[in-house]
């Protein structure tokens, strides 16, 4: 592959549809009697229906029981009043449907896709999964064993875990620091009874939304979904007052995670970012495109194209509801760790010192407008978009003004954006690699702390 299509070069785009100003397709939004928000959007290109349901039940609700939200979301599929886990899987597999559940930091999500002709059966399964999960203890215990092993195995891949170390380091005591998948000692203690209780507390209809996108008639679907979920009574959702994470760092810090057999150093360098609906996000994204959001970005150009130090380098803003992070990410062989970090820092520094010019800005604007790898081309992506609107509190205006915001960005304004939003110093470093080979030379970047990758947690 020319590029890894993964965390390195991807940045989230509110896709602008080429020359045409991208608009969110028409949809209907209403509330059920129980407070649940419903979004319906017709898309008839293929005979499929996509469903996405979200609940205020993400890992920020974990407290010190890391992994509780994630285990609860996963366990929704372990059987219901009407169907055993096996029956759910047999029914969905038979018609080629996909049914998934999971939790992120902000919310838990159940998503499903199936053929229009299978709607009756699949909506029946979905309803029971949402309303009547039984959290079967036998299935839960097997799942727990698998999860414990997977947590250990995750640590075999630096790329899979480096983000958890970074979040723990920068968010510290804030709930965003909680590793969504948990740690071995925390999930070992969580029982089927715990997830049942978590479900009762946080899967409440007044803090939930469901989006259905695909091949149906809105009026019919409105009737169907109302019949299906109107009668669902849950507890009242809790309003939890949360504080905004404090990401004002007073010094540079280095977390060195030792992986004894590492052949390369994987690293993130970053600091404070922005919250999900920051009004300047579009210009921030255009500037980040130049810094580290595309193949010809300055980071990739310096670290990959000019020097051959790495296969890929990039930067991104990772956004949550109440705050976010910015980080540069790349990897290089053990012996070139310091040259690669130095070069990444130089590139970031030149963004602040030298800034942008008209030519590069024009190129980045064209790129972000044209580059819509099919973010919103498929019905599934649109269902995700609608439930994200609910979770993060934005509406289609945020997307419909995308092109105007891109076009309105000038070099002068970009300068302000850079000064305001792109970290410059007091950077936070996470390095996963062979500590013995790099320890002495990376001390210069900040106060150093060391961890063993095989130790529990992050």
Cβ within 8 Å of residue 431, ≥6 positions away: 254, 255, 256, 257, 265, 266, 267, 337, 438, 442
**Of 23, 26, 47, 233, which one interacts with another protein (CB under 8 A)?**
47
Half-sphere exposure of 336 (CA within 13 A, CB side): 14
**Of 25, 31, 45, 172, which one interacts with another protein (CB under 8 A)?**
45
Span near another protein by CB under 8 A; candidates 52-60, 125-133, 181-189, 358-366: 358-366
**Of 25, 63, 231, 260, which one interacts with another protein (CB under 8 A)?**
260
Q: Under the criterion CB under 8 A, does residue 95 sit at the interface with another protein?
A: yes
User: What backbone phi and psi angles, to 5 degrees, belong to 79?
Assistant: 125, 150
Residues 328-347 that bind another protein (CB under 8 A): 331-333
Q: Which residues pair with 103 in a beta bridge?
A: 108
**Of 10, 12, 17, 411, which one interacts with another protein (CB under 8 A)?**
17
What is the edge-to-edge ordering of all strands in the sheet holding 208-214?
28-31, 37-42, 208-214, 48-55, 108-115, 98-103
Q: Under the criterion CB under 8 A, does residue 185 sit at the interface with another protein?
A: no
How far is residue 411's CA from residue 287's CA, in Å, rounded to a whole number? 10
Closer Cβ to another protein, 4 or 244, answer by number: 4
Span near another protein by CB under 8 A; candidates 255-263, 343-351, 410-418, 443-451: 255-263
Closest CA to 269 of 323, 332, 320, 316: 316
Span near another protein by CB under 8 A; candidates 123-131, 222-230, 250-258, 306-314: 306-314
Closer Cβ to another protein, 18 or 227, answer by number: 18
Query: Do strands 208-214 and 37-42 pair parallel, antiparallel, or not at all (unpaired)?
Result: parallel
Cβ proximity of 395 and 389 under 8 Å: yes
Residues 219-248 that bind another protein (CB under 8 A): none
Cβ within 8 Å of residue 91, ≥6 positions away: 83, 97, 121, 122, 125
How far is residue 273's CA from residue 327's CA, in Å, rounded to a whole number? 8
Q: Quick check: helix, strand or coil at residue 219?
A: helix
**Of 23, 26, 89, 447, which one interacts with another protein (CB under 8 A)?**
89
The angle that helices 119-131 and 85-94 make with each other, rounded to 10 degrees, is 150
Closer Cβ to another protein, 30 or 94, answer by number: 94
Closer Cβ to another protein, 149 or 219, answer by number: 149
How far is residue 116's CA from residue 45's CA, in Å, rounded to a whole number? 12
Residues 140-169 that bind another protein (CB under 8 A): 142, 145-146, 148-150, 152-153, 156-160
Closer Cβ to another protein, 279 or 374, answer by number: 374
Q: How far is the CB of 311 from another protein (least distance, A)?
A: 4
Q: Under the criterion CB under 8 A, does residue 81 sit at the interface with another protein?
A: no
For residue 99, give both structure tokens: 């049914």
Closer Cβ to another protein, 75 or 177, answer by number: 75
Q: Under the criterion CB under 8 A, does residue 20 sit at the interface with another protein?
A: yes
CB burial string 187-203: b at 16+ within 10 A, e below: beebebebbbebbeebb
Q: Under the criterion CB under 8 A, does residue 263 sit at the interface with another protein?
A: yes
How far is residue 342's CA from residue 456's CA, in Å, rounded to a whole number? 31
How far is residue 313's CA from residue 345's CA, in Å, rounded to a whole number? 12
- H or E segment to which residue 230 belongs: none
Q: How far is the CB of 122 from another protein (least distance, A)?
A: 11
| First and final C-alpha spacing in the chain | 31
Q: Under the criterion CB under 8 A, does residue 258 sit at the interface with another protein?
A: no
Q: How far is the CB of 259 from another protein (least distance, A)?
A: 8
**Of 34, 206, 311, 446, which one interacts with another protein (CB under 8 A)?**
311
Tell me, residue by residue from 431 to 450, as one string, x for binding to another protein by CB under 8 A and - for no binding: --------------------
Span near another protein by CB under 8 A; candidates 67-75, 92-100, 277-285, 404-412: 92-100
How far is residue 334's CA from residue 370's CA, in Å, rounded to a whole number? 37
Q: Under the criterion CB under 8 A, does residue 2 sit at the interface with another protein?
A: yes
Residues 360-419 that bind another protein (CB under 8 A): 362-363, 366-367, 369-374, 377-380
**Of 86, 193, 452, 455, which one interacts with another protein (CB under 8 A)?**
86
User: What backbone phi and psi angles, to 5 degrees, belong to 241?
Assistant: -80, 120
Q: How far is the CB of 306 from another protein (least distance, A)?
A: 7
Q: Under the criterion CB under 8 A, does residue 203 sit at the interface with another protein?
A: no
Q: How far is the CB of 331 from another protein (least distance, A)?
A: 6
**Of 25, 231, 308, 408, which one interacts with another protein (CB under 8 A)?**
308
Residues 97-126 that bind another protein (CB under 8 A): 97, 113-115
For residue 358, give both structure tokens: 């008209």
């Amino acid at each position: 592959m020319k590029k890894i299509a993964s965390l390195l070069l991807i940045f989230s785009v509110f896709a602008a549809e080429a020359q045409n100003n991208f608009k969110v397709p028409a949809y209907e939004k209403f509330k059920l009697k129980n407070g649940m928000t419903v979004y319906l959007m017709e898309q008839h290109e293929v005979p499929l229906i996509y469903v996405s349901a979200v609940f205020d039940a993400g890992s920020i609700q974990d407290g010190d029981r890391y992994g509780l939200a994630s285990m609860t979301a996963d366990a929704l599929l372990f059987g219901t009043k009407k169907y055993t886990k096996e029956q759910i899987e047999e029914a969905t597999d038979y018609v080629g449907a996909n049914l998934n559940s999971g939790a992120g930091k902000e919310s838990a999500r159940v998503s499903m896709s199936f053929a229009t002709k299978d709607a009756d059966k699949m909506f029946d399964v979905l309803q029971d999964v949402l309303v009547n999960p039984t959290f079967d203890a036998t299935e839960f215990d097997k799942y727990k064993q698998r999860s414990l092993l997977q947590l250990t195995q995750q640590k075999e891949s630096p790329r899979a875990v480096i983000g958890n170390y970074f979040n723990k380091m920068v968010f510290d005591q804030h709930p965003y620091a909680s590793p969504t998948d948990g740690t071995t000692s925390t999930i070992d203690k969580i029982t089927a009874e715990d997830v049942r209780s978590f479900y009762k507390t946080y899967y409440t209809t007044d803090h939930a939304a469901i989006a259905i996108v695909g091949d149906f008639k809105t009026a019919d679907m409105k009737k169907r979904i109302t019949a299906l979920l109107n009668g669902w009574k849950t507890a009242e959702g809790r309003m939890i007052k949360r504080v905004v994470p404090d990401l004002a760092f007073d010094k540079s810090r280095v977390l060195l995670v030792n992986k004894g057999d590492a052949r390369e150093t994987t690293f993130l360098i970053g600091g404070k970012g922005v919250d999900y609906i920051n009004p300047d996000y579009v210009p921030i994204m255009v500037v980040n495109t130049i810094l580290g959001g595309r193949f010809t970005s300055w980071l990739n150009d310096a670290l990959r194209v000019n020097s051959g130090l790495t296969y890929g380098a990039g930067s991104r803003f990772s956004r949550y509801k109440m705050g976010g992070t910015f980080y540069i990410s790349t990897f290089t062989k053990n012996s070139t760790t310091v040259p690669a970090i130095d070069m990444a820092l130089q590139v970031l520094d030149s963004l602040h010192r030298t800034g942008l010019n008209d030519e590069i800005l024009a190129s980045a604007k064209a790129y972000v407008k044209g580059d819509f790898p099919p973010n919103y081309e498929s019905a599934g992506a649109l269902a995700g978009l609608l439930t994200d609107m609910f979770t993060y509190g934005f509406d289609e205006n945020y997307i419909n003004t995308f092109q105007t915001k891109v076009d309105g960005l000038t070099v002068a304004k970009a300068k302000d954006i850079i000064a305001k939003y792109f970290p410059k110093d007091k950077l936070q470093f996470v390095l996963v690699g062979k500590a013995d080979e790099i320890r002495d030379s990376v001390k210069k970047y900040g106060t150093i702390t060391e961890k063993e990758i095989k130790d529990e947690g992050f």
